């Protein structure tokens, strides 16, 4: 147990559940670290699983959950845009107890995925739809197109995702207009 992480298990509504999840995960021989403000469990420096809490549930997030067999059918893809991670969600301590054996086997499998060096095949930027309003700007502004193409693939995807999430064209245009200067400066959405 890492004392830097202790605070996480003494706050909020899911204390009993997260403390039990912590015991289960640590019994698998992983190292406990604090990452992204959450307890993260690593094997040889590689992230395997983390514990996080939400309003309606607490969860174990398997970083490469998409590669796990999920024999028990307990892993959930949070949204259609999540490519690699999968969650096992719990709403009470009885569920944690019920699934602790399965969770251990999933953790051991996740460690084997890391040992084998397996990677989740991620969608390429070209696989994402470019909103028409943004394509129009790219077509008429060569400097913008060049600047966008020089961004890292992750930054490109973040912009495309953010722009396309707006339901109305007017909102998409406003978002695009707001972020054109950042794109021209070679910065990402959150930079």
Render pLDDT for 41-87 as a digit per residue (tens, 0 to 9).
Answer: 999 999 999 999 999 999 999 999 999 999 999 999 988 778 899 99
pTM for the model = 0.74
What was the pLDDT predicted at 101?
Answer: 95
How many C-beta atoms lie closer than 10 Å to residue 109's C-beta? 17
What was the pLDDT predicted at 110?
Answer: 97
Which residues does the chain have with pLDDT short of 50? Answer: none
- Domains of the chain plus CATH, in order, are 3-115 (3.90.1150), 125-184 (no CATH)
| Portion of the chain with pLDDT greater than 70, in percent | 100
What was the pLDDT predicted at 83?
Answer: 82
- The pairs formed by 143-151 with CB atoms below 8 angstroms and a separation of 24 or more are 143/184, 144/180, 144/183, 144/184, 147/183, 147/184, 147/185, 147/186, 148/183, 150/186, 151/183, 151/186, 151/188
């Amino acid at each position: 147990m890492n004392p830097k992480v202790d605070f996480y298990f003494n706050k909020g509504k899911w204390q009993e559940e997260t403390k039990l999840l912590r015991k289960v995960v640590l019994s698998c021989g992983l190292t406990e670290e604090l990452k992204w403000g959450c307890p993260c469990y690593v094997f040889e420096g590689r992230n395997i699983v983390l514990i996080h809490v939400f309003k309606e549930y607490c969860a174990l997030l398997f970083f490469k959950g998409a590669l796990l067999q999920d024999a028990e059918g307990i892993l959930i893809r949070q949204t259609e845009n999540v490519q690699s991670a999968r969650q096992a969600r719990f709403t009470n301590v009885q569920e944690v107890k019920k699934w602790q054996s399965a969770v251990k086997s999933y953790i051991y499998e996740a460690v084997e995925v890391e040992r084998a060096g397996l990677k989740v095949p991620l969608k390429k930027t070209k696989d994402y739809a470019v909103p028409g309003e943004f394509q129009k700007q790219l077509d008429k502004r060569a400097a913008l197109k060049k600047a966008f193409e020089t961004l890292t693939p992750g930054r490109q995807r973040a912009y495309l995702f953010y722009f396309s999430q707006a339901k109305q064209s007017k909102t998409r245009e406003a978002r695009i207009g707001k972020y054109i200067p950042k794109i021209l400066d070679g910065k990402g959405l959150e930079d």
